[in-house]
């Protein structure tokens, strides 16, 4: 289907060339793992020593500012081909604190969007958190809470990791709920660490179930670096995220990343294989085609050529900040992802 575009009220309107000239508002909502966005200071209660001027990464002001500039370039470009203001909501992971987010939103390439911040300090041992950035022109926050992930090692000690951030608000006047995630890593092996990610999935499942029990057409997005693929048990079984929109029933979730993964498309690379850890799942209310207001249209992975390492051992991988212990001056070891939502205009 060919799309012809025109702009109105700073949101993109689509004229579908088939049939009647129905116009649609378009909104874009995304997620991006910022790959270790640390300041240069040594925080006393977390293991951030390597991201200090005296640390292993020699993380100084010049590198920090370059990192901010690089990330802002990517974010400034996300979804601008479908809506002039780009992503109106962006979940982020691997940010040290609120201050680095404040520095990020003041970068010249994104400052004009007036991104606001929702952030809670998590108990993660490395000091990395998730957060939500949003353009107040399109989203009004009504509430936010951190949902703790309580997991324990074999010796009974708690493994401190990232909370799940739940933000509720009005998106262009419509109720919308967003969960931002950075699930436990595969450190120690995929199978051995799977129960930790399953536990994170259960937190999301319980929250989504509660929202959809209250309103079967509730519009819920579960996004983040899940450290699992669409076929992993945490996503496919516990969240029961469907690969086809038509298979989603009330109370269910749709995973638009599933078919991309099956085609070999990913958001990060490891040992010459692609994984699709960065995912956005959508509730029944966003995909049924019947609920009024915004509906899912398409998913995107932002993998422009400049975001790929062009040479060396990691040629073809995402162009990251550090690789093999050396500073590379790139962007992130993950690609950003986003979804387009459309709403019919009278």
Instruction: State the Cα–Cα distance between residues 54 and 144, nearest whole angstrom.
Output: 36
Instruction: State the Cα–Cα distance between residues 34 and 345, nearest whole angstrom.
Output: 35
Taking Cα atoms as reference points, which of 310, 258, 265 lies closest to residue 279? 258
pTM, two decimal places: 0.94
Instruction: State the Cα–Cα distance between residues 135 and 28, nearest whole angstrom.
Output: 11
Instruction: State the Cα–Cα distance between residues 302 and 265, nearest whole angstrom.
Output: 11
Task: Evaluate if residue 17 carries a pLDDT over 50.
Answer: no
Task: Evaluate if residue 181 carries a pLDDT over 50.
Answer: yes
Please count the residues of the chain. 346
User: CATH classification of 28-345 is 3.60.10.10, yes or no?
Assistant: yes
Task: Evaluate if residue 19 carries a pLDDT over 70.
Answer: no
Task: Evaluate if residue 189 carries a pLDDT over 70.
Answer: yes
Instruction: State the Cα–Cα distance between residues 162 and 157, nearest whole angstrom.
Output: 16
The answer for 325, left when phi > 0, alpha when psi is -120 to 50, beta otherwise, is left
Domain boundaries, the chain: 28-345
Over residues 49-99, the pLDDT tens digits come to 999 999 999 999 999 999 999 999 999 999 999 999 999 999 999 999 999
For the chain, how far is it from start to end, CA to CA, in angstroms? 21
Instruction: State the Cα–Cα distance between residues 20 and 181, nearest whole angstrom.
Output: 40
């Amino acid at each position: 289907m060919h799309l012809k575009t025109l702009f109105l009220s700073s949101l993109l309107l689509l004229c579908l060339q088939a049939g009647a000239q129905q116009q649609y508002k378009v909104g874009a909502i995304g997620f991006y793992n910022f790959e270790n966005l640390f300041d240069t200071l040594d925080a006393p209660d977390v293991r951030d020593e390597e991201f200090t001027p005296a640390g292993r990464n020699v993380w100084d002001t010049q590198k920090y500012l370059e990192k901010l500039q690089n990330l802002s370039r990517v974010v400034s470009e996300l979804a601008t081909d479908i809506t002039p203001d780009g992503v109106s909501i962006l979940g982020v992971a691997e940010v040290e604190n609120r201050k680095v987010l404040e520095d990020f939103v003041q970068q010249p390439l994104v400052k004009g969007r007036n991104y606001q911040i929702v952030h809670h300090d998590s108990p993660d041992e490395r000091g990395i958190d998730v957060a939500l950035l949003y353009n107040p022109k399109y989203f009004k926050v009504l509430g936010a809470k951190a949902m703790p992930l309580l997991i324990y090692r074999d010796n009974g000690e708690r493994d401190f990791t990232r909370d799940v951030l739940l933000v509720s608000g009005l998106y262009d006047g419509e109720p919308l709920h967003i969960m931002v995630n950075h699930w436990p890593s595969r450190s120690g092996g995929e199978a051995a660490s799977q129960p930790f990610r399953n536990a994170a999935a259960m937190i999301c499942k319980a929250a989504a179930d509660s929202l959809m029990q209250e309103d079967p057409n509730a519009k819920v997005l579960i996004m983040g670096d899940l450290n699992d693929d669409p076929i992993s048990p945490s996503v496919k079984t516990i969240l029961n995220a469907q690969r086809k929109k038509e298979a989603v029933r009330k109370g269910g979730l749709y995973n638009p990343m599933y078919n991309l993964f099956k085609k070999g498309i990913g958001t990060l690379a490891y040992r010459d294989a692609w994984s699709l850890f960065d995912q956005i799942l959508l509730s029944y209310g966003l995909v049924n085609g019947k609920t009024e207001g915004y509906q899912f249209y398409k998913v995107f992975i932002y993998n422009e050529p400049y975001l790929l390492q062009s040479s060396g051992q990691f040629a073809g991988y995402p162009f990251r900040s550090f690789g093999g212990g050396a500073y590379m001056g790139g962007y992130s070891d993950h690609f950003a992802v986003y979804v387009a939502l459309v709403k019919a205009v009278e």
